[in-house]
Amino acid sequence: MLVMSSETGVREAPETQSDRSKPAPRWAPVAVPVLIVAAGAALLGGIVAAVTPPPVASAESLCSSAIETKLIARGHTNVDVSRSFTVTDADGATRVSGSVASVGASGRVDYAELRCVVRGDGAAMRVVSARVSD
């Protein structure tokens, strides 16, 4: 490259290396694709979470809620419905059996067996019978 100088007239300017000819840092070829993939995964996860419908109540959860409500209405406290249920199909309905512990109105701890009958599918499921036996 030629540059004009007032002292000598025309002279050649020193060569400077441009920023584009400098090699990229060693981490750049790895970091940039990783960031792009991470951003894509986050975006995809957000879309899936927004589109996924809320979970439908199960026969077990409906039965547990019905038994808890029934015992609280009878004056029981500290109702603890078992998380381990026996589920069977009977006459087009779902029968749920398990156990429950609660503190009765007298202050005594009561242990009982529970049995519910749930009819319907998906969002139309409903408890048609919820019984507790000592």
In three-state secondary structure terms, 14 is: coil
Please indicate, yes or no, whether residues 63 and 122 belong to a single structural domain of this protein: yes
pLDDT at 8: 58
Please indicate, yes or no, whether residues 129 and 63 belong to a single structural domain of this protein: yes
pLDDT at 19: 55
Q: What is the token pair recorded at 78?
A: 């500290």
Please indicate, yes or no, whether residues 13 and 71 belong to a single structural domain of this protein: no
Q: What is the mean pLDDT of each run of 10 residues along the chain (134 residues)?
A: 57 57 78 87 82 66 93 91 88 91 89 93 86 86
Please indicate, yes or no, whether residues 78 and 121 belong to a single structural domain of this protein: yes
Rounded to two decimals, what is the model's pTM? 0.56
Domain boundary, last residue among 19, 35, 51: 51
- In terms of Cα–Cα distance, which of 104, 87, 105 is closest to 96? 87
Decide: 63 and 82 in contact? Cβ < 8 Å: no
Please indicate, yes or no, whether residues 87 and 47 belong to a single structural domain of this protein: no
pLDDT at 47: 81
Give the count of domains, the chain.
2
Measured from the Cβ of residue 108, the count of other Cβ atoms closer than 10 Å reads: 8
DSSP of 59-116: HHHHHHHHHHHHHHHTT-EEEEE-S--EEEEETTEEEEEEEEEEE-TTS-EEEEEEEE
pLDDT at 43: 87
Enclosing domain of residue 26: 2-51
User: CA 52, CA 55: separation in Å to the nearest integer?
Assistant: 9
